[in-house]
Amino acid sequence: MLRVSDLVRRFGDQVAVDGVSFEIAQGETYGLLGPNGAGKTTSISMIAGLLTPDAGEVELFGQPVTSARKSLIGLVPQDIALYPDLSAVENLQFFGRLQKLGGTELRARIDEVLEVVGLAERAKDRIETYSGGMKRRANIAVGLLHEPKLLILDEPTVGVDPQSRNSILESVAALGGSGMAVLYTTHYMEEAERLCDRVGIIDQGHLIAEGTRDQLVEQLGEKTTVTFRVNGARDQIDAWRADLGRLPEVSGVKDAQGAVAVVARQGPALIAPAVQAAQARHLDVIGVDVAEPDLEAVFLHLTGKALRD
Amino acid sequence: MWRDVKLIAANGLRRSLRDRSILIQALLAPVLIALVVGAAFSSGFRLDVTIGIADADRSAISQRVAEGLTGAGGNGIAFSTLSDPADADQVVDSGTYDAVIILPSGLGEAVISGGQAQLEVVGRATSELAQSVAQSVATGVAADLQTARVTAVAAGAVGATDPGALIQRAVSSPPPITIEQGEVQGTFSVMAYFAPGVAMLFLFFIIGNGARSIIVERDEGTLARILAAPVRPESVLLGKTVEVIVVGVLAMTAVWLITWLGFRAFWGDPLGVFLVIVAAVVAIAGISLLITGLARTAAQADALTTIVALLFAVAGGTFFYGATGLLADLRQFTPNGQALAAFVDLSAARADVAAVLPRVLLLLGIGVGTAAIGLLALRKRVLA
């Protein structure tokens, strides 16, 4: 239903999106995974008709996205794009009317989406009185209001508490199952793995890999992720990280929440030389964990850096 | 398209009316400041106008008119006969007289024969109130002469043989001329001057706030959400323009009605007042849109609006009445100065709609011109 071909967008001398192409089928949830500044928001802005591409095409059901066809798309921006001094219902009424809804149909849809996002009881409260998670859910409700064929969610869980995050992810999973196509951008690997039928990995404006989770992980071959927890001086840890990067068969090294993660072929065989290198730098290795490859490892393998670098 | 314009304007209006700071700026502040300033000026304000009467006709009728006027002064208005009408410009320029009414050559003959003669008022741009009083007096003179003429014609119709004598008698008979001196004095309200002046100053902030909301909505993401719907960018711009104009007209009209009905500050012919209000709001809205279109950020637009509003307020005579010299000249180049001049015409000189129409058209022109440039800039920079 959505076909994106060779999209290019420049801002001055900087190329934000450079030849991005992908397709999404009806009912499919497609994840655009990449770090901040990779070109995700610029790409979806062009898909939603908010930015004009410098080159390339966006087609929805084989037709360009004209002003009239924008109602086929529901956009949930990364920021809370709601009027804080209006209630959820008032926001939904305004944006619903702009989508040409009205009367009983609009009222019914408002009730329905507020139920979906779990805000029916706070419907008449001003958005400014909501918690961060509730605002995020209200933000999603506006995108769903006019029953779009394609729902674009731009990092909908940024800055959300774990409980609300889980609630949002459950809602999105349910939408994917209802036949609506979903384009989901995130820099959280777990979200992409949990929600998306296929994932496109984007970095520096380029779509560098695409496929199902299994297809992407297969690119790593027999590589695994070995995570070391060490104690010692910070400068020595940094130097040790560099040592690890020079070991044979290592394709990426990154910080992982206070630990150091290494993607390498034959990961277990890496442990001994890594520990020796640590001891040489007077570091104590206090824990080692060997994990099967995931999308984070794929990204590390493809770009040499972590998703959240 | 118009449905979207209406929706966007209505949404902005709803939010504005909920914003208590706007209610304070739009209503409370202008009324309170006008009350305070009005009270301060009223206690120390005394009308002191000297009007010269130059008789270029020297007919029996013109002499009766001049005598009638010179004997009718008082309450701050003094009339004095000018020996040589050719000196009118000079005595006004020198400040000997605040204004001069010239009874033109042929006036007496014109009244008797049914012809036309034009009373001329010479005044100083810097003494607007004196000019307004003189205009009002001249209008009264013309009306009385016309009444005298009608009386004579009527008398002729019932058999009188000498209409000229009848007219002279009519002019001479007491009261020879009704000078609307008391009315001029009564209708000039200090509050009716300061209330619109202060209201227009605050309009710059209220309307500027509305115009800036385009940038604010861009930064907060709601603009992108609007444009993600099947809505044309032109609808957004028009919606915002309608919103700021409606907010401005509502605010200014409320100040007018509160000061008029609540404090008896008579602003003049209601239709004329409303037209001037609309024109002033359009001009201020246009300037605000221009500022917003040229600014890079909402904060920059805010700062520019404050500077422009205060400059216009000082130059336009918001804080004081009866400016002279450079300030009086500058007033002509400010939209609020033009609007205030129109309000003075309407209240002090009891001008009608036709009299203030040139200023109304000028203000509308300023508004449309500046708005067009501002909207084009916004279309290119904010909605591209």
Of B18, B19, B230, the CB nearest to A68: B230
What pLDDT was estimated at residue B383?
65
Nearest residue of A to residue B16, measured between CA atoms: A85
Of A67, A81, A83, the CB nearest to B224: A81
Vertex A185 angle, CA A184 and A188, to 5°: 110
Q: What is the mean pLDDT of chain B?
A: 79
pLDDT at A308 over 60: no
Chain A closest CA to B378's CA: distance in Å? 15
Vertex A145 angle, CA A143 and A149, to 5°: 70
Ranking A240-244, A249-253, A296-300, B4-8 by mean pLDDT, the lowest is A296-300
Of A67, A78, A83, the CB nearest to B230: A67
B279-333: per-residue pLDDT in tens? 999 999 899 888 888 888 888 888 888 888 888 888 877 777 666 667 777 778 8
- Give me the mean pLDDT over the B146-156 stretch: 68
A85, B7: Cβ pair inside 8 Å? no
Q: Which of A98, A101, A136, A158 to mutate to test the interface with B (most CBs of B within 10 A)?
A: A98
Q: Which of B222, B226, B234 to mutate to test the interface with A (most CBs of A within 10 A)?
A: B222
B228, A73: Cβ pair inside 8 Å? yes
Q: What is the mean pLDDT of chain A?
A: 85
Identify the residue with better confidence: A220 or B289. Answer: B289
Of A49, A77, A86, the CB nearest to B225: A77
B232, A77: Cβ pair inside 8 Å? no
**DSSP per position, B204-254:** HHHHHHHHHHHHHHHHHTHHHHHHHSS--HHHHHHHHHHHHHHHHHHHHHH
pLDDT at B183 over 50: no
What CA dihedral angle connects B197, B198, B204 and B207, to 10 degrees?
-100
Helical residues (DSSP H) of chain B, grouped into ranges: 2-18, 20-23, 29-44, 60-70, 88-94, 107-113, 128-157, 163-172, 181-187, 190-220, 222-228, 233-257, 263, 270-294, 298-316, 326-331, 335-347, 353-381
pLDDT at A222 over 70: no
**Encoded amino acid at B125, one letter:** A
pLDDT at B193 over 90: no
What pLDDT was estimated at residue A82?
93
What own/partner pairs with CB < 8 Å and gap ≥ 24 does B358-362 have? B359/B276, B359/B279, B360/B275, B360/B276, B360/B279, B361/B279, B362/B338
What pLDDT was estimated at residue B158?
59
Decide: A229 and A255 in contact? Cβ < 8 Å.
no
- Give me the mean pLDDT over the A243-267 stretch: 80
B100-136: per-residue pLDDT in tens? 888 888 888 887 777 777 788 887 766 667 777 788 7
Identify the residue with better confidence: B124 or B257. Answer: B257
Of B15, B220, B226, the CB nearest to A79: B220
Q: What percent of chain A has pLDDT over 90?
A: 17
What pLDDT was estimated at residue A91?
95
B194-218: per-residue pLDDT in tens? 788 888 888 888 888 777 888 888 8
What pLDDT was estimated at residue B178?
39
Q: What is the pTM of this model?
A: 0.67
What pLDDT was estimated at residue A106?
92
Q: Say how many C-beta atoms besides its own lie within 10 A of residue B67's C-beta.
A: 17
pLDDT confidence bin for B232, thresholds 50/70/90 = confident
Q: How far apart are CA B37 and CA B190, in angstroms?
A: 8
In A, what residues contact B, Cβ < 8 A? 45, 48-50, 67-71, 73, 75, 77-83, 85-86, 90, 94-95, 97-100, 142
What pLDDT was estimated at residue A189?
82
A70, B229: Cβ pair inside 8 Å? yes
Ranking B14-18, B19-23, B269-273 by mean pLDDT, the lowest is B19-23
A84-128: per-residue pLDDT in tens? 999 999 999 999 999 998 889 999 999 988 988 888 888 899 999
Prediction ipTM score: 0.75
pLDDT at B363 over 90: yes
Q: Map tokens 């909207």 to a residue.
A: B375
pLDDT confidence bin for B365, thresholds 50/70/90 = very high
Of A86, A90, A95, the CB nearest to B225: A95
Half-sphere exposure of B57 (CA within 13 A, CB side): 24
| B267 DSSP β-pair partners | none
**DSSP per position, A116-163:** HTT-GGGTTSBGGGS-HHHHHHHHHHHHHTT--SEEEEESTTTT--HH
Chain A closest CA to B18's CA: distance in Å? 8
What pLDDT was estimated at residue B164?
66
What would the two tokens of residue B92 be? 């006004």
B7, A82: Cβ pair inside 8 Å? no
Chain B CB contacts of A80 under 8 Å are 221
Chain B closest CA to A190's CA: distance in Å? 27
Vertex B287 angle, CA B284 and B292, to 5°: 125
Nearest residue of B to residue A152, measured between CA atoms: B228
Chain B closest CA to A71's CA: distance in Å? 6
Helical residues (DSSP H) of A58-102, grouped into ranges: 88-98
Chain A CB contacts of B224 under 8 Å are 45, 50, 75, 77, 81
pLDDT confidence bin for B180, thresholds 50/70/90 = very low
A172-195: per-residue pLDDT in tens? 777 766 778 889 888 888 888 888
pLDDT confidence bin for B78, thresholds 50/70/90 = confident
pLDDT confidence bin for B75, thresholds 50/70/90 = low
pLDDT confidence bin for B277, thresholds 50/70/90 = very high
pLDDT at B347 over 60: yes
Nearest residue of B to residue A97, measured between CA atoms: B7
